[in-house]
Amino acid sequence: MRIKIKSRKAKIGLGVLLALTILIGATVAFYFWQMRLQKPAEINMADHMHHASPSSHAGHHTTTSTGTSCESLTATDSDAPVRDFDLTAASATIRLDNGKTVDAWTFNGISPGPELRVKEGDRVKVTLYNKDIEDGVTIHWHGVVVPCSQDGVAGVTQDAVMPDERFTYDFIATVPGTYWYHSHQMSSIQAEKGLIGQFIIEPKTDPYAVDRDMAGLLQKLGSQYVFNGMTQGLIVPGKAGDTVRLRLTNGANDTLEMGVAGAPYRIVAMDGNDIHKPGLLEGKSFNIGAGQRYDLLIQLPVQGKVVVGSTSEDSLKVTLGIGAEPVTTASGDLFSFLDYGSPVPGDKVDSLTIDKSFELKLGQNVFAKSINGKSFHEIPPMNVKEDEHVRITVSNEGGGDHPFHLHGHTFRLLSKNGEPVKGSPIYLDTILTKKDETYELYLVTDNPGLWMAHCHNLMHASMGMSMMLNYEGITTDYRVGTKSGNLPDL
């Protein structure tokens, strides 16, 4: 009897194992089927909801549509000073400050790539050379308002730059602020492998007299969080009374809660856009979503250091000044931009014209992320005309953090969950949305082109949370898909 019982148990165990194997196999197959849906054979993102596109391949494209080509929309001629930069994309082994090595993809042999600093009004020319990134590479200038042809989106504004090829970006640095750059070819893979960097446009006249201007780029390089490539945090020297402008950029996929210990501080800009009359903050932390930037203004105290850092990742910190470490405390209340700063006199926010409205509902299931229940090229684009006043309502219905980023534009935040912005006007290019949050965004369509709008958790974008804002009459001869090899959000 015992033998029979064991045999029966063995059969039951084998049955369960077989069922689990089938379930796991089906799950994996469904996952890859879903991913296949996000990688069409060939799509023209200018008219992907209307008809199939003729065939083309990377490096060779022909004009097939009437209208104004994105490729023809370039920077106007000017006598502005020219700043030339060269960036070489290549694989490399990086030795971190903790002694560990990481196999990375780099710009000029480092990750993050070189910090590029220019002045407001400069003409910027960046020549990208791909040494050995097999699937190609591009550079997207996150938050910088550039002409359509310079946006760096593979298959929409250009072909991916393949090994031993070059592409030169050429645009005017019009709006001062804190920005960053990253590859928009297979972005979820290439950004995490290291193809990112900081881009700063300094103002002609700085409204704040600062003694030190420091930029810090947070990233996840493989499985390791780093801050300007350092695993053990940054140290910024300074003496008592010095005023420091600290520009923080989140180049990772995760939302990071940041706190400041040792001194009060001001948030003087978000996403490169100035806050009007920012007040002092003390004992408050703030959430910085993927792709977002926060500029802090800190006066170093008479005694002791100031530490700005993540409340959950010890390595992500900046230590300012000299002396004793501050006593760390709980993060306290979260900063809210709804009532921060002061309204601008004469601002007629209550009488803004609305010509067109769109509702975007961000959702998800186990395998796909969606906008209005559809994913990637199945999502109808937001079609606009030049000089329209547009309201976009973004609702996070699926849960999780979704930092929604719009290319080519800066939008104004009107409200959160029906509560209007009461303080300074808030202008952003990336809005962090959490579960059950709804935001109203307002923009003027003043930059004709074909523009991506997507979650900047780039893994979510690769799973379908990516769509287009398209101007009427703008065309592209490039194609997204497996035939061309242009996969901007893989």
- Rounded-to-integer distance, Cα 225 and Cα 314, Å: 10
Which amino acid belongs to residue 363?
Answer: G
Instruction: Kindly report the pTM of this predicted structure.
Output: 0.90
Strand bridging mode 116-119 / 196-202: parallel
In this prediction, residue 23 carries a pLDDT of 59
Strand bridging mode 82-95 / 101-107: antiparallel
Do the beta carbons of residue 259 and residue 282 sit within 8 Å? no
Given the candidates 1.20.1250.20, 3.30.420.40, 3.40.50.1820, 2.60.40.420, the CATH classification of the domain at 212-320 is 2.60.40.420
In the chain, where the domains are located: 1-37, 75-202, 212-320, 349-472
State the Cα angle at 457 between 247 and 487, rounded to 5°: 115
CA end-to-end span of the chain, whole Å?
57
Superfamily of domain 349-472: Cupredoxins -  blue copper proteins (2.60.40.420)
In this prediction, residue 63 carries a pLDDT of 40
Tokens 């706190």 belong to 259
Q: Rounded to the nearest 5°, which phi and psi values hold at 171?
A: -155, 165
Count CB atoms within 10 A of the CB of residue 485.
20
- Rounded-to-integer distance, Cα 202 and Cα 117, Å: 7
In this prediction, residue 61 carries a pLDDT of 42
DSSP reduced 3-state for 323: coil
- Rounded-to-integer distance, Cα 171 and Cα 145, Å: 9
Measured CA distances, 177 to 114, 287, 316 (Å): 17, 19, 22
Name the burial class of residue 111, with classes exposed (0-12), middle (13-18) and buried (19+) by CB atoms within 10 angstroms of its CB: buried
Tokens 């849906």 belong to 37
Which amino acid belongs to residue 128?
Answer: L
Q: Rounded to the nearest 5°, which phi and psi values hold at 187?
A: -60, -35
Q: Rounded to the nearest 5°, which phi and psi values hold at 72?
A: -85, -10
Stretches in the chain below the pLDDT threshold 70: 1-38, 50-65, 328-331
212-320 has the same fold as 75-202: yes
Name the burial class of residue 134, with classes exposed (0-12), middle (13-18) and buried (19+) by CB atoms within 10 angstroms of its CB: exposed
Distance of CA 272 to the CA centre of its chain: 13
Whether the CA torsion 403, 406, 409, 412 is positive or negative: it is: negative
CATH number of 75-202: 2.60.40.420
Q: Which two tokens stand for residue 184?
A: 């928009």
Give the pLDDT confidence of 72-81 residue by residue, as tens digits: 999 998 899 9
Strand bridging mode 317-320 / 234-236: parallel
Cα dihedral 156/157/163/169 (nearest 10): -160
Do the beta carbons of residue 179 and residue 293 sit within 8 Å? yes
